[in-house]
């Protein structure tokens, strides 16, 4: 497997964890408007999101332009799974259906 595929997957995982951190930071009560945006989970989350963008830019050097967005769709699967573990969010029928449709779309892309 091309090294750049691993860079895409790394970027997806980093982006998913950054979304978890951003939500964690947003859920905390804050004293002021400034502290809503300048707290550790939010700052680290934005840094991680920027790192995932850099990973995507690097990945485009060695992966087909149509493949990167398909692989980044894995993030839509990973975020609900992480939310289940970190926030105890339940899987609804619509979430499961959405995840299944994303998996089918990824499978169809690679079969064609």
Q: Is the pLDDT of residue 1 over 80?
A: no
pTM of this prediction?
0.88
Instruction: Give the integer Cα–Cα distance in Å for 100 and 89.
Output: 18
Q: Looking at residue 36, what is its pLDDT?
A: 77
Burial (Cβ within 10 Å: 0-12, 13-18, ≥19) of residue 46 = middle
pLDDT of res. 34: 83
Check residue 1 and report its DSSP letter.
-
Write down the mean pLDDT value for the chain: 93
| pLDDT of 60 | 94
């Amino acid at each position: 497997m091309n090294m750049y595929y691993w860079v895409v997957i790394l970027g997806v995982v980093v982006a998913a964890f950054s979304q978890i951190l951003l939500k964690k930071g947003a859920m905390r009560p804050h004293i002021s408007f400034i502290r809503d945006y300048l707290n550790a989970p939010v700052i680290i989350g934005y840094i991680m999101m920027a790192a995932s963008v850099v990973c995507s830019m690097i990945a485009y050097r060695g992966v087909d332009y149509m493949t990167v967005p398909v692989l980044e769709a894995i993030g839509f699967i990973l975020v609900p799974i992480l939310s289940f573990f970190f926030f105890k969010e339940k899987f609804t029928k619509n979430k499961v259906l959405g995840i299944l449709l994303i998996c089918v779309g990824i499978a169809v892309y690679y079969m064609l």
